[in-house]
Structure 1
Amino acid sequence: MSAGPGTRAGRRARAAPPVPRVSRADRFSAGDLLFEATTDLSSRPGRLVMTLLGTVIGIAALVLTLGFAHTTAQQLARQFNAFAATQLVAVPAQAQTGTDRSVTTGPLPWDAVERVQRLAGVQQAAVLAEVALPEGAAVTAVTVNDPSQAPAAPLRLFAASAHLLDTVEGTVTAGRMFDAGHDRRGDRVAVLGTRAAQRLGATRVDTQPSIFVDGVAYAVVGVFDDLAARAELLDAVVIPTGTARRDFRLSAPGEVQARIVVGSGAQVAGQTALALAPDDPDSVEVRAPAARSDLAQDVQADVNVVFLVVSGIVLLAGVVGIASVTTLSVVERTSEIGLRRALGATPRQIAGQFMTESVVVGLLGGLVGAAAGVTVLLVVCLVQGWAPVVNPLVPLGGVLLGGVVGALAGGFPAHRASRVEPVTALRGS
Structure 2
Amino acid sequence: MTTHDVPRSTLRTADLVPTGSLGLRSRKMRALLSGLGIAIGIASIVSVLGVTRSSQSALLAQLDQLGTNLLTVANGTSGQGAEQILPTTATSMIRELPHVQSVAPTAKLASVNVYRNDHIAAGRTGGRSVRAADAALLGTLDGSLLAGRFISNDDSPVTVLGYSAATTLGITDVSGNDRVWVGGHWYNVVGILKPFTLAPEIDQAAIVSFQSAEHLLGYNGHPSRIYVRSDTEYTAGVAGLLGSAANPEDPSRVAVSRPSDALTAQLQVKQSGAGLILGLGAIALLVGAIGIANVMVIAVLERRTEIGLRRALGATRGHVAAQFLTESLILATLGGIAGIAIGAGVTLGMSVYRGWTTLIPPEALYGGLLVSIAAGAIAGLYPALRAAHLPPTDALRTA
Same fold (TM over 0.5): yes
1:127 aligns with 2:141: no
Is residue 118 from structure 1 mapped to residue 99 from structure 2 by the alignment? yes
Structure 2 residue aligned with 1:178: 152
Report the secondary structure of 2:305's partner residue.
Answer: helix
Contact 1:172/1:223 (CA < 8 Å) preserved in 2? Answer: no
The counterpart of 1:192, out of the listed 159, 163, 185, is 159
Match of residue 351 from structure 1:
321
Distance 1:343 1:255, change over 3 A: same
Q: Is the CA contact 2:20–2:323 (under 8 Å) kept in the aligned structure 1?
A: no
Question: Which residue does 1:53 correspond to in 2?
Answer: 36
Aligned-partner Cα distance in 2 for 1:130–1:365: 59
Per-residue CA deviations over 1:280-325 (Å, capped at 9, x if unaligned) read 854532122215233133135325634752x345434422332232
Q: 1:115 to 1:256 in 2, by over 3 A?
A: farther
Q: Deviations over 1:58-92 (max 9, x none)?
A: 32333222222222333445678x88987532134
Structure 1 residues 93 and 345 mapped into 2: Cα distance closer, same or farther (>3 Å)?
same
Task: State the distance in 1 between where 2:110 and 2:40 align.
Answer: 65
Verify the 8 A CA contact 1:355 1:414 in the aligned structure 2: yes
Structure 1's unaligned 5+ residue stretches are: 1-18, 95-102, 138-152, 183-187
In the alignment, does 2:21 pair up with 1:41?
Answer: yes
**Matched residue, 1:334:** 304
* 1:407 corresponds to 2:377: yes
Structure 2: state its 5+ residue gaps: 78-83, 113-121
- Quote the offset at 1:52 in angstroms: 2.9
**TM-score scaled by structure 2?**
0.66
Indicate yes or no: 2:33 matched with 1:66. no
The answer to whether residue 204 in structure 2 is matched with residue 230 in structure 1 is: no
State how 1:233-244 maps to structure 2 within 5 Å.
234-235=205-206, 237-240=208-211
User: Do residues 396 (structure 1) and 366 (structure 2) align?
Assistant: yes
Output the CA distance in 2 between the equivalents of 1:338 and 1:47: 20
- Amino acid corresponding to residue 137 of structure 2 in structure 1: L
Q: Deviations over 1:144-183 (max 9, x none)?
A: xxxxxxxxx999986644413433537496675334xx6x
In the other structure, the counterpart of 1:6 is none
**Which residue matches 1:145?**
none
Seen in structure 2, the aligned counterparts of structure 1 residues 385 and 295 have a Cα distance that, compared at 3 Å, is closer
SS in 2 for 1:230: helix
Distance verdict in 2 for CA 1:416–1:192, change over 3 Å = same
Specify the alignment match of 1:272 in structure 2.
Answer: 242
**Which one of 259, 266, 276 corresponds to residue 305 of structure 1?**
276
Deviation at 1:40, TM superposition (A): 3.6
Cα distance change of structure 1 residues 157 and 43 upon mapping to structure 2, 3 Å threshold: closer
What's the secondary structure of 1:389's corresponding residue? Answer: coil
Residue in 2 that maps onto 1:420: 390
CA distance in 1, matches of 2:233, 2:398: 74
Tell me the secondary structure at the aligned position of residue 46 of structure 2.
Answer: helix
Instruction: Indicate if the aligned counterparts of 2:138 and 2:144 stay in contact, CA closer than 8 A.
Output: yes
SS of the equivalent of 2:255 reads strand
Corresponding residue for residue 119 of structure 2? none
- Greater Rg, structure 1 or structure 2? 1
Q: C-alpha distance in 2, partners of 1:314/1:231?
A: 45
Mapped to 2, the partners of 1:395 and 1:417 lie a distance apart of 33
Distance 1:46 1:117 in 2: 78
Tell me which of the two structures has the higher relative contact order, counting C-alpha pairs closer than 8 angstroms and 6 or more residues apart: 2
- Which residue identity does 2:90 align to in structure 1? P
Q: Which amino acid aligns with 1:192?
A: T
Judge conservation of contact 2:145–2:192 (CA < 8 Å) in 1. Answer: yes
> 2:232, 2:26 → 1: CA distance?
55
Shift of 1:125: 1.9
Instruction: Report the CA distance shift for 1:173/1:371 in structure 2 as closer, same or farther (over 3 A).
Output: closer
* CA distance in structure 1 between the aligned counterparts of 2:386 and 2:275, rounded to whole angstroms: 38
Paired with 1:372 and 1:132, the residues of 2 have a C-alpha distance of 53
1:117-156 equivalences under 5 Å are 118-119=99-100, 124-129=102-107
Instruction: State the Cα distance separating 1:413 from its structure 2 match.
Output: 1.2
Deviations 1:322-341 (A, max 9, x none): 22321122123323333444
Q: One-letter code of the match for 1:112?
A: M
Between the aligned partners of 1:175 and 1:354, the Cα distance in structure 2 is: 74
Q: Closer, same or farther in 2 for the Cα pair 1:414/1:73, shift >3 Å?
A: same
Contact 2:70–2:227 (CA under 8 A) maintained in structure 1: yes
Deviation sequence 1:3-56 (CA, Å, 0-9, x none): xxxxxxxxxxxxxxxx9x99x9x9767x54x73354241464252542433323
Quote the Cα distance in structure 1 between the aligned partners of 2:324 and 2:130.
82
After superposition, the CA RMSD in angstroms is: 5.3
1:337 and 1:91 map into 2 onto residues whose CA distance is 80
Whether contact under 8 Å (1:178, 1:190) holds in the other structure is: no
Residues 193 and 53 of structure 1: CA distance in aligned 2, closer, same or farther (over 3 Å): closer
Give the whole-Å Cα distance in 2 for the aligned partners of 1:158 and 1:68.
Answer: 38
2:80 corresponds to = none
What is the Cα deviation at residue 398 of structure 1?
1.4
Identity of aligned residues (%): 28
2:94–2:103 Cα contact (<8 Å) kept: yes
How far apart, in 1, do the equivalents of 2:150 and 2:355 lie? 36
Q: C-alpha deviations, 1:370-389, integer Å up to 9, x for none? A: 23432454455456654311
Aligned residues: 358
